[in-house]
Amino acid sequence: MNTEQKQEYRRKQKEWAEKVLSGAEALDAEGKFVKSRGIGIGGSDAGTLMGVNPWSNVYRLWLDKTQGKHFEGNEKTDWGHRLEPLVADRFQEAVAERGLEVIVDKTHYQSKEDPWLVGNIDRLVTANGVPEYILEIKTAGRDDGWDINTAAYSDGEWHLTDYDDLLRRPEQESVPQSYWWQCQQYMYVTSVHDCYLAALLHGQRFAVWHIPYSDEAVTSLRLTAEDFWCHHVLDGIPVEPDFEYWESQKPEEQTIPATPDLYALCREYNDASAAESAAKARKEAAKQALGLAIRDASAIRDEAMKKNLCTWKSQERRSFSLNLLLAAHPELKAEVNDYYTVTTSRVMRVSKIKE
């Protein structure tokens, strides 16, 4: 995109923002925040834009920005907001001896060069009043994507404090990638090119990861954001619906012609299914062999490494049985029918292709 084209898109972006924010002055702080999400790509959108968010995709992001179909939040996100100040206080304790101060920053940041990139950070970390780091705060009940062994701070102490050592570590793989891209965007729009990500894991373990600024990543983010926002939002070119969209649609009674490429995809599906079945069989065989080795013990342990290789313990799960309820109270059958919900999904079945 040349300079003249980008200038025109900046003009369009200004008009877009004015339209989105129209009437925002009459709203409360939360309402204004929700409105402001629509003027550009926020930090929490960065992972989706870069294709690493397992819970969303670019098509949904496009709907969010063009039709206002944004995520309203749930109990999990509500607890995340409630716990945020506590995690920030714990981080303050960890950096106090380094002369750093954690402050709340309510600024709505917006890049001048790329005005469709915006951000609201959790906290700013300063030294003698000068911004030194962005602080991004997360709470997580799962271990997916978190590598505690690469944390800069855990178990009450700092590790690997040499900056060059920190830069050499695979920091993008140390935390969920969506959060890593979020930090990169915040560092770009704030011009504070260093970041810590503090997380409370499972409600009981506090850890901090250092996220250095990546010029290469930010360049990729800016180009991807520019293409998405300028062409699909400002120019109004729809994003092609993804598999999840078509999976939820009721199909027409029609067919498409079989092509060599589609034949190849069907063969690939069949090959993968066969490999999956074989892998499941090997897994089950290994599981049974381990069980026969453990017998009435509860674990296989390597005492030298002081860790369990395998555990086999009892656990209970309570589940509701509608059949038992109706057997005991048959008079409820008619009433229960009123509470059934019907969901429709498409089932794909691929024929086996003879060579």
Domain spans of the chain, in order of start:
14-234, 255-296
Reported confidence tier of residue 170, pLDDT bands at 50, 70, 90: very low
In this predicted structure, what is the pLDDT of residue 238?
A: 92
Question: Which tokens sit at 232?
Answer: 């699909």
Span 301-305, average pLDDT: 90
**Residue pLDDT, tens place only, 89-134:** 999 999 998 899 999 999 999 999 999 999 999 999 999 999 999 9
Question: Which tokens sit at 352?
Answer: 């086996």
**Residue pLDDT, tens place only, 216-254:** 999 999 999 999 999 999 999 999 888 877 887 888 888
In this predicted structure, what is the pLDDT of residue 166?
A: 46
Reported confidence tier of residue 72, pLDDT bands at 50, 70, 90: low
Beta pairing, strands 130-140 & 194-201: parallel
How high is the mean pLDDT of the chain?
Answer: 88
Span 36-51, average pLDDT: 92
Question: Which of 93-107, 168-182, 299-313 is predicted least confidently?
Answer: 168-182
User: pTM of the entire structure?
Assistant: 0.73
Tell me the fold of 14-234: Lambda Exonuclease; Chain A (3.90.320)
342-346 CB contacts, 8 Å cutoff, 24+ apart: 344/250, 345/247, 345/248, 346/246, 346/247, 346/248, 346/249, 346/251
Question: Which of 55-64, 145-154, 210-219 is predicted least confidently?
Answer: 145-154
Beta pairing, strands 194-201 & 205-212: antiparallel
In this predicted structure, what is the pLDDT of residue 246?
A: 83
In this predicted structure, what is the pLDDT of residue 70?
A: 65
In this predicted structure, what is the pLDDT of residue 172?
A: 53
CA atoms within 13 A on the CB side of 74: 2
In this predicted structure, what is the pLDDT of residue 1?
A: 79
Q: Are 184 and 213 in contact (CB under 8 A)?
A: yes
Look at residue 214 and tell me whether its pLDDT is greater than 90: yes
Question: Which of 73-82, 94-103, 283-292 is predicted least confidently?
Answer: 73-82
